[in-house]
Amino acid sequence: MANKGLQLLGFMLSLLGLIGLIVGTILPQWKMSAYVGDNIITAIAMYQGLWMSCAFQSTGQMQCKVYDSILQLDGALQATRALMIVAILLTVAGLGVASMGMKCTNCGGNDKVKKARIAMTGGIILIVGALCSIVACGWFTNQIVRDFYNPFTPVNTKYEFGAAIFIAWAGAFLDIMGGGMLAASCPKGKPSPRYPKSSKAPSSSGREYV
């Protein structure tokens, strides 16, 4: 059985990972304008996220605009949106399931083996959710790199990695660590009781008479 401290640590890491996923999904800094080439303009910094694009001026003002239509977005952005939402929902579900199987809670009954299996199931759900977010971040990162090194991409439309994508990466890895600790609650089978074999033959209670 995994001890109570390991389960609690895994739950806290997964909770921090969930916060990281939510913050990373909401923030618009998934990619930011790259200052390359001869014509460098630093007065305005352009950011693009999963839900909006923003322009940050050197005066400290930021103007954001939500994407008007989903159909106008490229496939990579739509897939990243969907995977991040699925990752957040799975993480929430995994935390709920794991909380019922932890030793420090009263949910799930008093059967220790049953509670350990519930915690293990929650950990597996958390790992699946983290993998969804890793795929989403990797897909979006690959798109940024391909557009950056594409010679046909205009210089003023090239982007590099923003802060939000690193926050999402961190949340995903925290979820994997927490889910792995909770999945380590996999119970071992109960050992079957072994009785010592008697070396003496059972004595007869009486004699037979003809």
Give me the residue spans of the domains in the chain.
4-26+71-156+165-184
The model's confidence at residue 13, banded by pLDDT at 50, 70 and 90, is very high
pLDDT of residue 154 exceeding 80, the answer is: no
Q: Determine the CATH number of domain 4-26+71-156+165-184.
A: 1.20.140.150
Q: In the predicted model, what is the mean pLDDT of residues 129-151?
A: 90
In tens, the pLDDT along 85-130 reads 999 999 999 999 988 878 777 765 677 778 888 888 999 999 999 9
pLDDT of residue 199 exceeding 70, the answer is: no
pLDDT of residue 174 exceeding 90, the answer is: yes
Output the pLDDT for position 208.
47
29-59 burial by CB neighbour count: b if 16+ within 10 A, else e?
Answer: bbbbbbeeeeeeeeeebbbbbbeebbebeee
pLDDT of residue 36 exceeding 80, the answer is: no
Give me the percent of the chain exceeding a pLDDT of 70: 80
In tens, the pLDDT along 50-85 reads 998 888 877 778 888 888 877 778 878 889 999 999
